[in-house]
Amino acid sequence: MDDPSHPRNPSPGRVTEVSRPVFEVRAVDGAARSGVLRTAHGEVRTPVFMPVGTKATVKTLDPGEVRALGAQILLGNTYHLHFRPGDELVRELGGLHRFMAWDGPILTDSGGFQVFSLRDTIARVDDDGVTFRSVYDGAATRFTPDLAARIQKNLGSDIAMCLDQVPPAGVSRRTLEVAVRRTTLWAARQRDLPRAPGQLRFGIAQGGTDPELRRRSTEEIAELGFDGNAIGGLAIGEDRDTMFETTDAAAALLPADRPRYFMGIGDPEGILEVIEAGIDMFDCVLPTRTARTGSALTANGRLNLRNARFARDQRPLEEGCDCPACTRFSRAYIRHLVNQSEVLGLRLLSLHNLRFLVNLADGARDAIERGTFAGYKRDRLERLTWPDS
Ligand SMILES: [Zn+2]
């Protein structure tokens, strides 16, 4: 931690920054908290929903539009950007922020989740790394903690994630245990490798829903002293209640003075549950993926715009929503666009869905600051009368 550009190690002359830690908890309500995370590209107020821009784009949206929806930080993906267009090329072009014209904070995933979710492409996993075939051209590739660090340094993200081994839900305890051991080994190796100027680094805990292994992994990762800690290997198909119980227990074991990131949750109920457990950051492709299925997220549940009942519906997707779709267009028009596979339909649904989740997290933050989070959560869940219609 002797990198002078690291936010926690400002140069001696910059006295004002000495008193500004990377993460500050501003209010606590039960286990839920609101805070501020400081990155090299600005502050993030938490709890925060992070839109996913896997291939350096939040699908169909201009970064200016994403910013206008209130998004504070975007995700990029190490696996995909390494192969296309290549992290060396992105570095040559001035880094990921300049490349995609987003000047706010960016978090890059390590590629661990992609490698291990494309199970059929894996040739070998050992203590040094994982060998697999690229999903783009089948070329044999090896990801190691060193490569994960180097790619993210080239991309110049504000938050880099550690390479982890993500076993699928329902594997044997023995398999889970090996993944936990390896994830710690890899995190310890990646922790002290060179980083981009000001780049923060987060560890990721595994352990599935096994209480003992989850505890072991969480404690081991926390002990390594990363700038923030992530809960990985959940929301991958296990039982929901077990997932929430595991999250409660894991979040409580993570240091309170560092940000906590739950990887891959984006449904309204899930977001509220993890915030209640003390999670500060979460991401999901749900808003844009839901848009691609022709559906809108609303306070009452999902609207499938393909449905004939919207043919003459002149109301907006959601009454009171201030997004560019709801302020100008009717359900009837968006239904027409969706049924004709018009790009504008996809864009309008993506804009609305993102705005919906940004609003949900903003509302949670306000409620935590007022000490009314329990009531906020209850009200939101009661309104979700048809969660999957
Ligand atoms: Zn809207």
| pLDDT score, position 9 | 47
Q: Is the pLDDT of residue 115 over 70?
A: yes
237 Cα to the center of ligand 1, angstroms: 29
Give the mean pLDDT of 234-240.
Answer: 95
Look at strands 228-231 and 260-262 and give their pairing. parallel
Give the mean pLDDT of 364-372.
Answer: 98
Point out the residues that are catalytic. 109, 283
DSSP 121-155: GEEEEETTEEEEE-TTT--EEEE-HHHHHHHHHHH
Distance separating alpha carbons of residues 55 and 215, to the nearest angstrom: 33
For 178-219, what is each residue's pLDDT tens digit? 999 999 999 999 999 999 999 999 999 999 999 999 999 999
Which amino acid, 12?
P
Q: Is the pLDDT of residue 240 over 80?
A: yes
Q: Is the pLDDT of residue 388 over 70?
A: no
Give the mean pLDDT of 171-175.
Answer: 97
Burial (CB < 10 A; 0-12, 13-18, 19+), residue 137, is: exposed
| pLDDT score, position 386 | 64
| pLDDT score, position 19 | 66
290 Cα to the center of ligand 1, angstroms: 14
| pLDDT score, position 385 | 80
CA 270 to chain centre: 13
For 58-73, what is each residue's pLDDT tens digit? 999 999 999 999 999 9
278 Cα to the center of ligand 1, angstroms: 28
Residues 6 or more apart whose Cβ sits within 8 Å of residue 30: 276, 373, 374
235 Cα to the center of ligand 1, angstroms: 26
Which amino acid, 168?
P
Strand partners, 203: 229
**Cβ proximity of 134 and 123 under 8 Å:** no
